[in-house]
Amino acid sequence: MPLHRSTKIVATLGPASSTEAQIVALAQAGVNVFRLNASHGTQPEHALRYARIRAAEDRLGRPIGVLLDLQGPKLRVGTFAYGPVDLGIGDSFRLDLDRRPGDRKRVALPHPEVFASLEPGHDLLLNDGRIRLRVLACGADFAETEVIAGGTLSDRKGVNVPGTALALTALSEKDRSDLAFGLELGVDWIGLSFVQRPEDIEEARALIGDRAHVMTKIEKPAALPTLDRIIELSDAVMVARGDLGVELPPEDVPGLQKRIIRLSRAMGKPVIVATQMLESMIAEPTPTRAEASDVANAVYDGADAVMLSAESASGRYPVEAVAMMNRIVHKVERDPLYRRIMDAEHPHPEATAPDALTAAARQIAETISAAGIVTFTTTGSTTLRAARERPTVPILGLSARRETARRLSLAWGVHAVWTDDVQNFSEMVGRAASAATAAGIGRTGQPLVVTAGVPFGTPGMTNSLRVVTIDAEDEPPAAPAGAARQTETV
């Protein structure tokens, strides 16, 4: 991971980026987390990609996170008997459960849950929002509609129901199969699609347990009334602007993006901004200026990560897209305005000892110009608290659990390291100094701020803060006990 970049990069793998050499090249260009999109490709294809990610991880010597993004329920119309139909403004059009091929007067919508949720006056969006139908009359198995915005409709195009919470679970049968596959594989994050209510996350977590972390995709307007609770129940959040933009007016999405990022940061949950960030680089070697500004604005907003989808999965320039995103992020983070924004929006620490110590660690590190903040963590919570503070110095997240180090690769400003466990303070201090030197975060004579929990290995027990100075002996790979001077204990 480039140590001088705090905002992380997530890249989707696909036909353009599935060989081990390509995965290594993407990671070297700046990818911290790879996304496996369950909407495309087969389970054996994803298993092969996962194995190659782990081979690249071993080759590069740093933790790499893996996100399995579930498809979620997909609402689609049926087929047409004589090919695509043109719907004009003012036309009447019927949707029903009759599975016979449709015509320009009707088509099947094989989802009774949709009809159960409809009322006259509701709108339906078809074909990614290009066609808008208004419900005039409806029942348990039909909806008579008027075309408000026309267009061409063909087989199995998608359907959205804006402003309506559907009686659908977030996990389809395909999702359950993909979820079991991903957990067996060992992915670090499960991307949960179609979340409408907090209960959707609770249902998924009951199946996932502690085998992976839950990343909730905010893509349905129905989730917005309970957004605070949804973020609270999640381990991380994705702002899925593409789907949000179908059901919401485009002018609403930028403000909502900022709101979701702000809430996620306040709760200490990593947040990703996704969809169409460098879309033109699917076919072109450089992005538009508007796309570059879009990536930059997500970084200015304080997102933990920005994401590439088709740009890296099926585009012609996957490595170039990552390198471009890396350069944009790097440039923004060196703008004095960026630092002023981060400093102005520090969330208030909770009234707990771990939060108080972590806030103090940032203040001390900045006051003494420390080389970095070192956190020892079992579950990742200590390190995520440090990332929530958005310090001006790097965060070195050390964990004896490889899965924790991989999950921390998503967090803002964190250089995650998988290391042997420590048994006492002297060993902790030596390991911290050696790891910082090996990572290029610090050098001889520089101070480090170290936080940990005592007794060691106890989750959620951040209760110790020390300032240490790196000694000349702290050269990788050696990690001698007591290799750094302890200059202060809190």
Query: What is the set of active-site residues?
Result: 35, 76, 217, 275
Q: How far apart are CA 387 and CA 368, in angstroms?
A: 19
Q: How far apart are CA 315 and CA 213, in angstroms?
A: 29
Query: Strands 123-126 and 131-139, how do they pair?
Result: antiparallel
* Cβ-proximal residues to 397 (8 Å cutoff; 6+ apart), any chain: 375, 377, 380, 383, 386, 405, 408, 411, 414, 415, 416, 417
Q: How far apart are CA 476 and CA 470, in angstroms?
A: 12
How many other CB atoms sit within 10 Å of the CB of residue 423?
12
Q: How far apart are CA 300 and CA 62, in angstroms?
A: 27
Query: For residue 395, what are the CA distances in angstroms to 39, 183, 373, 432, 453?
Result: 34, 29, 5, 11, 16
Q: How far apart are CA 281 and CA 273, in angstroms?
A: 17
Question: Residue 112, preceding bond cis, omega within 30 degrees?
Answer: no
Which structure tokens are listed for 185? 């594989």
Phi, psi of 273 (to 5 degrees): -105, 130
Query: DSSP state, 399?
Result: E
With b for 16 or more beta-carbon neighbours within 10 A and e for fewer, the 29-58 pattern comes to bbbbbbbbbbebbebeebeebbebbbebbe
Q: Residue 171, CB half-sphere, CA atoms under 13 Å: how many?
A: 20
Q: What residues form DSSP beta bridges with 447? A: 469
Query: DSSP state, 163?
Result: T
Query: DSSP state, 184?
Result: H
How many other CB atoms sit within 10 Å of the CB of residue 419?
19
